[in-house]
Structure formats: structure tokens, C-alpha cells
């Protein structure tokens, strides 16, 4: 008799235990009554009637999901491997349960296909230089598709773009050639500016003979200040001008 009471008491305790559930601040319970959606409950104490009601627990915290490396062929026919990371969170627990079977798997697969599709429309230089724009484009497409599932894409970041060794060498050679081209342009611009300044100085000195003599004396003074064995014999410019005219 006592054993029957004990068993009955245990059954009642288990039944009552399944009645009450405590959810944390970031958790919600999607409750179904006889198979039909009833409401979203939580956080705190949640009462679920066993056998009549069923519930699915959903977390509202941001999920960080790594996208495995994807083989992408750029618009200029360069093969690369691209990896990324996606940040998203559930904003509508009911739709996340009712509209999609497994939203984590769905987001992962959708992110992989979208990553390949978007990057395949750009050249390699754009992938390397415009990563911020590509992140925004991928996030926008994912956000449009996951809105029906009650999911909000917070951020998409391309982590790494891997190239094969031959492509790395080609890019290094291209960068070296570009640096050489810029150096030649800078040197040419410097020569052009120097020649313009020399021509302007020559015109000024030709117009003012006194300026030529002053420059001549300054040159002699600078030579005399240096410690060298050079012997300078100053010759008046007026004497040379007669010979130059002949």
C-alpha cells in the first residue's frame, strides 16, 4: 500500500516538474497547444501543460557563425578561397520556429551560396581593395532572405582571401613594376621642374649683368671656404664678353 502511494507521489512530482520551467532573460518559449501555435512566453517562470502543450526554446543572443572557405572564381577568372563570419540573431521566435526547420543550417547554407555569388561578380582587385563594400552587399542580400524567418543579420565580415603561389608572385611583380613606374614619373617631374627653374634663372641673369657678376663672386667665395687644392684665377666677365661676341 505504501509503495503505491510512493509511486503515485513520484508521478505527481514529475508531472508538476514538467509544469514549470524557468527561462533566462535571453530565452523565449514558443508554445503550441494541441499542435497549434499559441504564444511566445518568457523570460521567467513559464507554465506548460504536459501532453496538451509543447514548446520550443529559442535564444535571442547574437549567433557568431563561421563560413567555411569557399572556392570562388572572380570575374577576371582568378580562383581564390574565401572564408567569412556571419553575425545574426532571432528577432521573431515564432517565425524562426514555424517558417524554417533549422534556421542555423539555413543561414549557413544561404551565406555560403551568397558569398560565392557576390564575389564572383567582382574582379580580384575589387575583392582585395573593396572588402567593406562587399561585406555590405552580402549582408543586404542575406537580410532580405532571412527576414521571413524572423532573423536579423547584424554583420558580415570576409575574414581571409587565399591565393595560390603563382598568383601571389604575379601580384608581387605587378606591385614592383607599379612602384618602378611611379619612381620614374617622380624623377621625370623633378627634372622638368629643375629645368624650368634653371631656364628662369638664366633669363634673370641674362637680363641683369650685375646679377651675373654677383653670382660669380658668390661661387668664388663658396669654393674658397672648402678645404681643397683647387686654384682659382678670377677673370673679369667683361673681358670674356669681348671674346664671346667674336
List beta partners, residue 90.
Answer: 151
81 vs 223, higher pLDDT: 81
Query: Of all residues in the chain, what percent carry a pLDDT higher than 70?
Result: 72
33 vs 228, higher pLDDT: 33
CB-side exposure of 245: number of CA atoms within 13 Å? 6
Residue 110's pLDDT is what? 96
Segment 140-146 shows an average pLDDT of 95
Residue 63: C-alpha distances to residues 12, 70, 127, 141, 240 (Å) = 38, 21, 26, 18, 89
Cβ–Cβ under 8 Å, residues 152 and 143: yes
User: Helix, strand, or coil here: 17?
Assistant: helix
Segment 78-93 shows an average pLDDT of 94
26-70 pLDDT, tens digit per residue, is 999 999 999 999 999 989 999 988 889 999 999 999 999 999 999
CATH pick for 63-163 out of 3.30.479.30, 1.20.1180.10, 1.10.1740.10, 3.40.1180.10: 3.30.479.30
18 vs 237, higher pLDDT: 18
Residue 164's pLDDT is what? 73
Residue 185's pLDDT is what? 86
144-203 pLDDT, tens digit per residue, is 999 999 999 999 999 998 887 666 566 656 666 777 777 788 888 888 887 877 777 667
For 158, list phi and psi in degrees, rounded to 5: -80, 120
Residue 19: C-alpha distances to residues 52, 102, 245 (Å) = 11, 26, 119
CA distance 159 to 109: 17
Segment 206-212 shows an average pLDDT of 63
Q: Is pLDDT of 125 > 60?
A: yes
CA distance 221 to 43: 92
Cβ–Cβ under 8 Å, residues 148 and 92: no
CA distance 74 to 125: 10
Query: Of all residues in the chain, what percent carry a pLDDT higher than 90?
Result: 46
Segment 90-114 shows an average pLDDT of 95
Residue 12's pLDDT is what? 66
C-alpha cell at 98: 514555424
200 vs 98, higher pLDDT: 98
User: Helix, strand, or coil here: 140?
Assistant: helix
Amino acid at each position: 500500500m505504501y509503495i503505491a502511494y510512493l509511486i503515485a507521489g513520484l508521478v505527481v512530482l514529475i508531472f508538476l516538474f514538467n509544469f514549470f520551467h524557468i527561462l533566462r532573460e535571453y530565452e523565449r518559449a514558443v508554445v503550441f497547444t494541441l499542435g497549434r501555435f499559441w504564444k511566445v512566453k518568457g523570460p521567467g517562470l513559464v507554465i506548460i501543460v504536459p501532453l496538451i502543450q509543447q514548446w520550443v526554446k529559442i535564444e535571442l543572443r547574437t549567433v557568431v557563425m563561421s563560413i567555411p572557405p569557399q572556392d570562388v572564381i572572380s570575374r577576371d577568372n582568378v580562383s581564390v578561397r574565401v572564408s567569412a563570419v556571419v553575425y545574426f540573431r532571432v528577432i521573431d521566435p515564432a517565425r524562426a520556429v514555424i517558417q524554417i526547420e533549422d534556421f542555423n543550417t539555413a543561414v549557413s547554407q544561404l551565406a555560403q551560396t551568397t558569398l560565392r555569388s557576390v564575389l564572383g561578380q567582382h574582379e580580384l582587385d575589387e575583392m582585395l581593395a573593396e572588402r567593406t563594400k562587399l561585406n555590405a552587399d552580402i549582408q543586404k542580400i542575406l537580410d532580405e532572405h532571412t527576414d521571413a524567418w524572423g532573423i536579423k543579420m547584424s554583420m558580415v565580415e570576409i575574414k581571409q582571401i587565399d591565393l595560390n603561389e603563382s598568383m601571389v608572385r604575379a601580384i608581387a611583380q605587378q606591385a614592383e613594376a607599379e612602384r618602378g613606374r611611379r619612381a620614374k614619373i617622380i624623377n621625370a617631374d623633378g627634372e622638368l621642374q629643375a629645368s624650368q627653374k634653371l631656364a628662369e634663372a638664366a633669363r634673370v641673369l641674362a637680363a641683369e649683368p650685375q646679377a651675373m657678376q654677383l653670382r660669380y663672386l658668390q661661387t668664388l667665395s663658396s669654393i674658397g671656404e672648402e678645404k681643397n687644392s683647387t686654384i682659382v684665377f678670377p677673370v673679369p666677365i667683361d673681358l670674356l664678353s669681348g671674346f664671346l661676341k667674336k
